[in-house]
Each structure stands twice: as C-alpha cells, then as structure tokens.
C-alpha cells in the first residue's frame, strides 16, 4: 500500500539558495505528524511541492502513491490543503466558496449542503455562512480556509501553520479541530513553528532546518533520544518560595537534576528519569510542606530539543 505522503530526494533551489535539500520522508497511517522548523526552514516549500504549487529542482513528491508533478489532479483528489493563508474571492459567501470547492472536487450534490453545514459548524462560522468573505477578518477567513480543506472529508490533510492570524481562542479551537480530525481515519501533516501546538495535537514530529530533515520520529522516541533521560515538570505553589527553599530543599531532592524559578510561585524542575521520578518528586514535595498545589509536564522537552538541534546548525 502506497504511503499517504512520500518525498523522494526532494530538492528545491531558488537560484543559488537551496530551500529544500534531498528530503526523504514517508508518512503513512492514521495520525498527526508535526512538521517543525524555524521560519525559512523549508516547511512551506515542502507543502507547496506536495501540492504542485512550486516545482522540484530534483526528486519527487507523491500523495497516495501518485506523483503530484505528473498527475496533480489524481494526487490531490483525496487531499485537503491549507497553505499560506489563502484569500477567497471577496464577493462570495463562505457557503458559496465551499460550494465551489465541493463542486470542483466532485462532492455529490446530494451531500454537498450537509458537508458544508458540518464543516462550517466545525470551524464555528455558521453564523457568517451567508456574509460576503471580503468583509471578514483574517481569522474568519482562515476558518473558512480550514473548512475548505475539510469539505470533501479527505484522507490526507496538509495544514501549513493553520492557526496563523487567529487570536488565542481561535488557536485553541484550531487545535481542538485538528485533535477531533485525528479521530477520523486520516493522515494530518501539520506544519508549525509553535511547539506547544505540535506537542498538543501531534503523534509524531519531523524537524527541518535550512532545508534539511534533522529527524522524524514519534514524540516519545524523540524526547527519549534527545533529552538524555531527563524530564521537566512545572510545580506551582500556593505562596511565594524563598530562594533558599528552591536551592536547598527542592534542588537537593533525590532525582532532581536542576531547578529553575519561573516566578515566585512556580518552579521548573529537571528530573533524572521519567514518570517514576515525577511520582517520587510529588511525594517529596508533599513532605516538605512548601504549599505545592500542582505539578505538570512542562512541555519544554521538545522545546529544548528544538533549540539544541536548531542552534547546532548555526
């Protein structure tokens, strides 16, 4: 069975600048793959090559086993795409814009209106379904773009920084949408430079920098491979901590490799070990009576890996 997304020696040069360098990536199965990298790393270039918006200097991009360069129509038939905050024809309403997409994609007329209503509901645009797109904010347009990528219920979804232009609430809603989409059987390829977004919704992560793929693996494997067996947790306290309590009491607990004060009532603890180390820390903190009220994974592991891998290339 052909992979949902496959790049074979995919290279793109713009004059002397190499935007993507021999990318070999094979994504299959039903999951969300985060495509991480700083600005200019080659994320959008990869997605544009996968959708035939730009053409490879060498190599091939395939979707569902079909080369997008050779047979773009067939390759993109079962793919939902959102790249670079597209503009929609301003005189059309969201319903009309989605009708156009559904019509061009061959969604049968009998189910078209149902699908449009469903996806507009998913992106919370039902109330604006019949307003002209030209009068809408960037965030609202982006929601319609997401709806357009979903209207035909694709098996492969490529999203390029989908929360761009959205307010914090909109960003959270996009994450919820993507998480819900994972429950349907499909591959989601999510390009982002927002680490928390990737940690929140993705199962696997591919890190790219300066056009080169640095790694591609599950989040757990990546964390285990690059963190050297350490985990980080954020601990919140009911009252401010004295500096000596941080250094002498928390810093000397068994399994603690380091403590960083985030604010007077919060510290980030680096632990030597995984879940067991967290369990021991929780018990020890309770015994110290410092007013610990919560402990949570800091989510910083991927950030540390990201920064170390990206800075290595500097």
- The footprint of another protein (CB under 8 A) covers 1-4, 14, 28-30, 48, 51-55, 64-65, 72-92, 96-97, 99-101, 103-108, 145, 148-149, 152-156, 185-187
Contact between residue 220 and residue 58 where contact means Cβ atoms under 8 Å apart? no
The 10 Å Cβ neighbour count of residue 160 is 22
Quote the longest CA-to-CA distance of the chain: 70
Residue placing its CB nearer to another protein in the complex, 98 or 310: 98
Residue placing its CB nearer to another protein in the complex, 130 or 283: 130
Burial class of residue 314 (count of CB atoms within 10 Å of its CB; 0-12, 13-18, 19+): exposed
Residue placing its CB nearer to another protein in the complex, 1 or 127: 1
User: Which pair of tokens denotes residue 92?
Assistant: 């059309």
Tell me the closest approach of the beta carbon of residue 200 to another protein, in angstroms.
22
> What is the H or E stretch that residue 79 is in?
strand 79-82
User: Which pair of tokens denotes residue 289?
Assistant: 């009576």
Residue placing its CB nearer to another protein in the complex, 165 or 251: 165
Distance CA 186, CA 228 (A): 33
Residue placing its CB nearer to another protein in the complex, 77 or 219: 77
Tell me the closest approach of the beta carbon of residue 203 to another protein, in angstroms.
13
Residue placing its CB nearer to another protein in the complex, 195 or 204: 204
Burial class of residue 37 (count of CB atoms within 10 Å of its CB; 0-12, 13-18, 19+): buried
Write phi, then psi, for 182 (nearest 5 degrees): -65, -25
Residue placing its CB nearer to another protein in the complex, 93 or 231: 93
Tell me the closest approach of the beta carbon of residue 60 to another protein, in angstroms.
17
Tell me the closest approach of the beta carbon of residue 34 to another protein, in angstroms.
17
Write phi, then psi, for 163 (nearest 5 degrees): -90, 5
Tell me the closest approach of the beta carbon of residue 231 to another protein, in angstroms.
32
User: Which pair of tokens denotes residue 18?
Assistant: 């190499």
Residue placing its CB nearer to another protein in the complex, 63 or 269: 63
Contact between residue 277 and residue 258 where contact means Cβ atoms under 8 Å apart? no
Tell me the closest approach of the beta carbon of residue 170 to another protein, in angstroms.
19
Tell me the closest approach of the beta carbon of residue 146 to another protein, in angstroms.
12
Q: What is the CA radius of gyration of the chain?
A: 23
Angle at 161 between CA 158 and CA 166, to 5 degrees: 125
Of the candidates 63, 8, 12, which has an alpha carbon nearest to the alpha carbon of residue 40? Answer: 12
Distance CA 129, CA 116 (A): 9
Tell me the closest approach of the beta carbon of residue 171 to another protein, in angstroms.
20
Residue placing its CB nearer to another protein in the complex, 157 or 250: 157
Tell me the closest approach of the beta carbon of residue 308 to another protein, in angstroms.
31
Q: Walk across the sheet containing 32-36 and list its strands.
A: 79-82, 156-160, 187-192, 32-36, 204-209, 212-218
């Amino acid at each position: 069975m052909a992979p949902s997304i496959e790049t074979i020696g995919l290279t793109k040069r713009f004059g002397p600048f190499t935007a993507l360098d021999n990318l070999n990536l094979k994504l299959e199965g039903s999951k969300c793959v985060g495509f991480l990298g700083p600005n200019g790393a080659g994320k959008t270039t990869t997605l544009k090559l996968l959708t035939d918006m730009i053409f490879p200097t060498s190599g091939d991009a395939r979707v569902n086993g079909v080369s997008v360069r050779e047979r773009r129509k067939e390759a993109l038939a079962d793919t939902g795409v959102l790249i670079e905050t597209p503009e929609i024809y301003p005189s059309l309403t969201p319903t009309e814009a989605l009708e156009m997409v559904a019509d061009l994609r061959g969604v049968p007329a009998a189910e078209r209106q149902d699908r449009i209503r469903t996806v507009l509901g998913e992106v919370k645009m039902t109330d604006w379904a019949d307003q002209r797109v030209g009068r809408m904010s960037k965030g609202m347009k982006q929601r319609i773009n997401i709806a357009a990528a979903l209207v035909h219920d694709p098996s492969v979804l490529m999203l390029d920084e989908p929360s761009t232009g959205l307010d914090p609430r909109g960003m959270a809603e996009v994450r919820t949408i993507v998480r819900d989409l994972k429950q349907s059987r499909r591959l989601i390829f999510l390009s982002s430079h927002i680490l928390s977004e990737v940690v929140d919704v993705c199962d696997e992560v591919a890190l790219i920098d300066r056009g080169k793929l640095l790694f591609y693996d599950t989040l757990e494997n990546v964390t285990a491979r690059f963190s050297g067996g350490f985990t980080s947790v954020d601990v919140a306290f009911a009252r401010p901590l004295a500096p000596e309590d941080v250094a002498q009491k928390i810093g000397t607990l068994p399994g603690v490799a380091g403590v960083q004060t985030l604010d007077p009532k919060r510290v980030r603890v680096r632990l030597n070990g995984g879940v067991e180390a967290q369990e021991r820390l929780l018990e020890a903190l309770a015994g110290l009576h410092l007013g610990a009220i919560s402990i949570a994974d800091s989510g910083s592991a991927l950030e540390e890996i990201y920064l170390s891998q990206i800075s290595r290339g500097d």
